[in-house]
A and B are shown apart, each in its own frame.
Chain A
Amino acid sequence: MNGYREGMRAALASPLARSAGYLSRRLGRGGGTSLPGKVLLRAHPTAVAHLGRRLTGGAVCVSATNGKTTTCRLLAACLATDGVAVVSNPAGANLLTGVATALLDGTGGRRRERRGLFEVDEAALPEVVRQLRPGVLVLMNLFRDQLDRYGELEAIAGRWRAMVDALPAETHLVLNGDDPAIAALGTGRDATYFGVDAPALGAGATSHASDSTRCRRCGHPLTYRYVTLGHMGDWMCEACGDARPPLDVAVTAAEMDGTRGQRIHWRTPDGDAEATTTLPGLHNAYNATAALAAALRMGVPLARAATAIAGAEAAFGRAERVVLAGRDLVLLLAKNPAGANTTVQTMLLDTGPLHVLVALNDRTADGQDVSWIWDVDYEPLVERIETLTVTGDRAYDMALRFAYAGVDRTRIVVDPDPGGALDRAVAGVPDGGTLYVLPTYTAMLRLREILVERGAATEFWRDR
C-alpha cells in the first residue's frame, strides 16, 4: 500500500518536475540538468529508488575525485555498442538531484530494456547507491579536494567504507588497485581491479599533493615500486605485507603524444587489446582502463570496447579542443592539486613554448578556499611559459602563485574578466599556436559560454 502511494507520488510529481527542466532551458537558465530532480525529490525523497527500478538492464555508478566525467563518457561509448538504451546524467549534474533528473528524462515512454550509467559526486555517492542499488560500482581514486566542502580525505574514505559494507553481495566493485584507499574497499568482496602495470610510466616518488601514503591496515608508511599519479602506483607495506592486489585489467604500456593523445596497451582476462585515443595523459589512461574494466564486466566484448574507447571524444572542458580566431585552444579542467598536477605534466609533453590562460574561481562548486593552488607543482612550467594570462574571481591569487613559482611578475597579464582575459590571451598566441586554458569548474563553464557565444563550441547540455 505504501509502495503504491509512493509510486503515485512519483508519477504525479514527474510531469511537474519535467516541465521545470523545460522552463529552465527556455528561460536561458542553463541546461535544467538538476532542477527537475530537485522539484521531484522535494515531493518524493526516494524517487531515485523508484525510478531506478525502471532500469531493467541494471545500473552502474562511477565515482572518484578525478576522471568521473571522462570515464562515464568512455563507458557510455562501450555500452552503446550493444544497442541497449542508456540513461545517463550529463557532466556536472552528479548529485542526487542530477541522477533524479536523468531518470525522469530517460525512463518515461514505452518499456524497453534500459541501462543506467551515472557519474556521482563523492559526497553524494552513498545516498545515490543506497537508493539506486547499482549492479556495478566503479571507484577510481580519492585525492585531496575542496576541504571546505568535502572535509578531509579520510572522512570521505570512511563514508565510502561504510557504503561498501552495506552493499548487497550482488553489487560488483570495479576498483583502482593502484590507489591504496580504493583497493582497500575490495577486501572480502567480489571485485575487479584495474591499474597501471608499467614501471616505465611511473615516476620515482609520491608528489607533494599525496594524501594516502600510509598503510590502511597497520598505519606504516607505504613503499612504492613506482608511483604513477599522486599516491597511486605499485604500493606495498613492508610492515604488514599488504600490497597492491593483482590487476585484472592493466595498462601494460602507453605511448604519449603530448596533449594530442596516446596509444594505450592493455592486458585483460579476455586477452590483450590496444586503442589510440585523443585523450591525453596518464590520468586518461586510468579513465580508459576503468571504463574498459567496467565494460568487460557488463558483457561488452573486448574488441568492441577497445574500438569504442578509441572513437570517443573528450568531454566538455576535459582536453577539449576548439578553434578561436585561428588559434587552437585546449581546455584542461584543473580543479584540485592532483588533477592540476596531471594537467601540468601532460602540457610538458608538448614541445615548444607555452601560451597559458589560468582561470581561478572560488564559488561553491569550485571550493571557496583557494589554498589548493599552492599544492600544485606549477614550477616545471615556468621555463616553458611564453605568455601567461590569469583570470577569474581570484585572478590575483593565481598571479601570486606564479610570481612565487618564479614567473617575472611584470609579464603576468591579470584580467579578472574572463572575456577580456580570453581576448588578451588569444592575442598573444602566434598564428597556428596553441593556447592552453586551465580553468576551475565554474570558470570553465563561463569560458565555454563565451566560446559558445563566439561560435567556437557547442552548449554543454546538448553534449551528451
Chain B
Amino acid sequence: MSVVRLCHLYPDEMSIYADRGNIAVLARRLEWRGLRLDVTASELGDALDDGHDIYYLGGGQDRDQAIVAHDLAGAKADALRSAAADGAVVLGVCGGFQLIGHGYTGTDGARMPGVALIDADTVAETGPRLIGDVILDADLDGEQRTVVGFENHAGRTRLGPDVRPLGRVVHGHGNDGRSGHEGAVRDHVIGTYLHGPLLPKNPWLADVVLRWALEHAGASQVLDPLPDDLEVAAHAAAAARAGVRR
C-alpha cells in the first residue's frame, strides 16, 4: 500500500481555523482509494525531517504565530526549503501563508520572519480585518476551477514577480483587498488565506495536493475518481452564500 507522509507543523499553536479538517480530508481521500496518510507533528523546538511528501502549516493567534515564526525561520528553515526544492508539497493556510513568504510586519511594527519559499510579503494594516466568504477562479496544475472558502485576516499580502496567485478573486477581498489576487503558487508550494476549511469543499484541490505528493513519494498510483456528491453540493452552497452576502 502506498503511503503519503505528511508533516503537520505546529498543530498546537497553528490550528485555530479547523486546520485539522484539511488533514482529515487528505487522509480519507487516500484511504477511500486504498492508500494511506501517515501524519507526524513537528512542534516548537523539534527538529524537522525533510523527507515528508506534504508539509502543512495552518493559522494561529497572533501571539502564537510570533513564537512559531522564529522557530520556523530558525532551526526548521533549511529542511523545509530543501524539501520544497525536492518537489514536496507545502501548503500554508492563513498565518501559514504569511510565514512561507518573506515575513509579516505587524501593526506594532514588529517583524515576524518568514522562510521565503514564495515571493510574497505581508504587512498588517490598521484598517478593518478582511473577513468573509470568498470565491476564486483558480488556475492550478493546468486546470481552471472555482475555489470557495472563508477569509479572516488583518495582514495584506503582496506578491513579487517570482510567484503567481492561486486565483483571481470573484467575490471577497483576497490577499490585500486591492490586487484581485488570492493566494500564491510556486512549483508545489501553495499559500492561501482560505479556510472553511479549504479542502473539504474543494476536493479537486485536495486531489491536486495528493497527486503531487504521490509523485514526490515515487508512487505510480492514479487517483481514482470519488463520488464527491456532498462535496460538490457543499461547494455550491458556499458559493451561493457568498453571492447572497455580496
Contact = CB atoms under 8 A, between A and B. Distances in A.
Nearest to B231: A400
Interface in B163-204: 195-197, 200-201
A235 to B, nearest CB: 15
B152 A396 contact: no
Contacts of A372: 18
Interface in B193-236: 195-197, 200-201, 227, 229-231, 233-234, 236
Interface stretch (B21-29, B78-86, B102-110): B21-29
A375 B233 contact: no
Given A153-B61, A374-B18, A404-B200, A148 B230 contact: no
A393 interface: yes
B202 to A, nearest CB: 11
B75 interface: no
Contact of A397 (B132, B227, B238): B238
Interface in A396-410: 396-397, 399-401, 403-405, 409
A56 interface: no
A400 B201 contact: yes
A368 B236 CA distance: 16
Contacts of B140: none
A40 interface: no
B17 to A, nearest CB: 5
Interface string B19-47: 01100110010000000000000000000
A154 interface: yes
Nearest to A221: B12
B230 A409 contact: yes
A282 interface: no
B111 interface: no
A404 B62 contact: no
Which interface class (under 10, 10 to 19, 20 to 34, 35 or more) fits A?
Answer: 35 or more
Interface string A286-327: 000000000000000000000000000000000000000000
Nearest to B203: A400
B24 A396 contact: no
B62 A414 contact: no
Given A148-B150, A371-B150, A393-B241, A400 B17 contact: no
A346 to B, nearest CB: 22
A373 B18 contact: yes
A53 interface: no
B131 A148 contact: yes
Contacts of B152: 147-148, 369
B54 to A, nearest CB: 17
Contacts of A6: none
A414 to B, nearest CB: 7
A394 B231 CA distance: 12
A362 interface: yes
A151 B17 CA distance: 12
A208 interface: yes
A371 B230 contact: no
B241 A374 contact: no
Interface in A97-134: none
B53 interface: no
A368 B151 CA distance: 11
B63 interface: yes
A375 B62 CA distance: 19
B245 interface: yes
B132 A368 contact: yes
B133 interface: yes
Contacts of A335: none
Contact of B229 (A144, A151, A409): A409
Nearest to B229: A409
Contact of A152 (B61, B197, B236): B61
A368 B196 CA distance: 10
Interface string A71-112: 000000000000000000000000000000000000000000
Contacts of A152: 16, 61-62
Given A393-B241, A397-B201, A371 B233 contact: no
Nearest to A219: B67
B20 A414 contact: no
A362 B229 CA distance: 21
Contacts of A208: 15, 20
Interface string A440-457: 000000000000000000
Contacts of B24: 374, 404-405
Interface string A386-429: 00000001111101110111000100101010000000000000
A368 B129 CA distance: 15
Contact of B237 (A148, A369, A396): A396
Contacts of A396: 230, 233-234, 236-237
Contacts of A148: 131-132, 150, 152
A374 B20 contact: yes
B237 A371 contact: no
A273 interface: no
Contact of B21 (A211, A371, A393, A409): A371
Contacts of A221: 12
Given A148-B131, A400-B234, A404-B28, A371 B195 contact: yes
Contacts of A144: 16
A201 interface: no
Interface string A368-382: 111111110000000
A374 B200 contact: yes
A87 B213 CA distance: 61
Contacts of B18: 371-375
A400 B228 CA distance: 9
B241 A362 contact: yes
Nearest to A395: B237
Contact of A371 (B132, B197, B231): B197
Given A147-B17, A148-B131, A154-B62, 16 more contacts: A147-B16, A148-B150, A153-B61, A208-B20, A219-B67, A362-B241, A369-B195, A371-B196, A371-B197, A374-B20, A374-B197, A375-B15, A396-B230, A397-B201, A397-B237, A405-B24
9 contacts: A144-B16, A148-B152, A152-B61, A153-B61, A374-B20, A374-B200, A397-B238, A405-B24, A409-B227
Pairs of residues from A and B, 6 with the lowest C-beta to C-beta distance, nearest first? A374-B21, A374-B18, A396-B234, A371-B18, A396-B233, A152-B61
